[in-house]
């Protein structure tokens, strides 16, 4: 069934009004009619199953039938920060990473990032990436829409370390050195509601001096197993590992 993300906090009402893009999709794309059902996903993660009660020129009115049960979100908020990779890899990381439960996605210019985006370009990119995240969130039945940010400077990322419970750095050299336990050790310490930042390099990987600065600011470098993962594959491994540790190992 279709899911629509509503940019408001849930509060019990007799009817909910949907306008704008969602209106267009419900009425013009899906051609829904009164009594058709859909999910509304509110900012605060509340999801209701609703039935269309009426449709006019500007808005669709929806009556709540029931709440969606079951939590679809990871028990901890995981933010994935990627040194800007080439081509459409960031789009791709955000689409798959949203399916896998990522809470936020950050692109930042790492030393080895080839792409450089000015302010205007970043603005347009973010809009496009938010659209990809929204579609993936709807398709994968998420209850929260991931936040997408593109940073002008790597330093902004480092300055944000203190806002996270843990900061992990996926570092190929750690993998080559056979470091395979820090990821699990870290995930095991996370409590529901905690937040985790995991940082990934671009194709060229991180420069040693970048790793040093990350570590000086509280980051912990870890491997993601003995195989060398591409820039776009490593974040999916990490999110899958978080899900497995916190949702499957019950």
Provide the binding-site residues for a copy of itself, judged by CB under 8 A. Answer: 70-73, 96, 99-101, 139-142, 178, 180-181, 183-184, 225-230, 233, 236-237, 240-241, 243-245, 247-250
- In the complex, minimum distance from the CB of residue 78 to a copy of itself, in angstroms, rounded to a whole number: 13
Q: Closest CB to a copy of itself among 63 and 141?
A: 141
Closest approach, Cβ 9 to a copy of itself, in A, equals 22
**Taking the complex as a whole, how short is the minimal distance between the CB of residue 40 and a copy of itself, in angstroms?**
18
Between CA 122 and CA 129 the distance in angstroms is: 10
Nearer to a copy of itself, 21 or 71 (CB): 71
Q: How far is the CB of 148 from a copy of itself (least distance, A)?
A: 18
Do the beta carbons of residue 110 and residue 210 sit within 8 Å?
yes
> Least CB distance from residue 71 to a copy of itself, whole Å?
7
Question: Least separation, in Å, of the C-beta of 241 and a copy of itself?
Answer: 4
77-83 vs 195-200, strand pairing mode = parallel
> By C-beta, is 99 or 130 nearer to a copy of itself?
99
């Amino acid at each position: 069934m279709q899911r629509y993300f509503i940019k408001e906090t849930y509060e019990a009402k007799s009817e909910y009004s949907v306008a704008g893009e969602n209106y267009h999709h419900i009425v013009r794309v899906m051609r829904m009619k009164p009594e058709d059902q859909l999910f509304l996903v509110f900012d605060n993660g509340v999801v209701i199953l609703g039935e269309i009660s009426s449709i006019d020129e500007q808005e669709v009115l929806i009556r709540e039938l029931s709440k969606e049960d079951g939590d679809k979100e990871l028990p901890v908020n995981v933010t994935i920060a990627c040194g800007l990779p080439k081509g459409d890899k960031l789009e791709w990381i955000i689409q798959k990473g949203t399916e896998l439960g990522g809470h936020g996605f950050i692109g930042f210019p790492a030393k080895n990032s080839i792409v450089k985006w000015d302010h205007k370009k970043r603005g347009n990119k973010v809009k496009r990436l938010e659209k990809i995240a929204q579609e993936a969130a709807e398709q994968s039945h998420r209850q929260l829409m991931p936040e997408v940010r593109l940073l002008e400077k790597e330093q902004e990322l480092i300055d944000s370390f203190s806002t996270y419970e843990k900061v992990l750095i996926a570092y190929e050299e750690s993998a080559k050195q056979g470091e395979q336990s820090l990821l699990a050790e870290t995930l095991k310490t996370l409590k529901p509601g905690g937040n985790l930042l995991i940082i990934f390099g671009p194709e060229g990987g991180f420069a040693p001096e970048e790793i040093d600065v990350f570590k000086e600011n509280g980051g912990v470098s870890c491997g993601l197993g003995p195989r060398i993962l591409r820039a776009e594959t490593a974040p999916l491994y990490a999110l899958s590992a978080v899900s497995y540790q916190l949702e499957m190992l019950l």
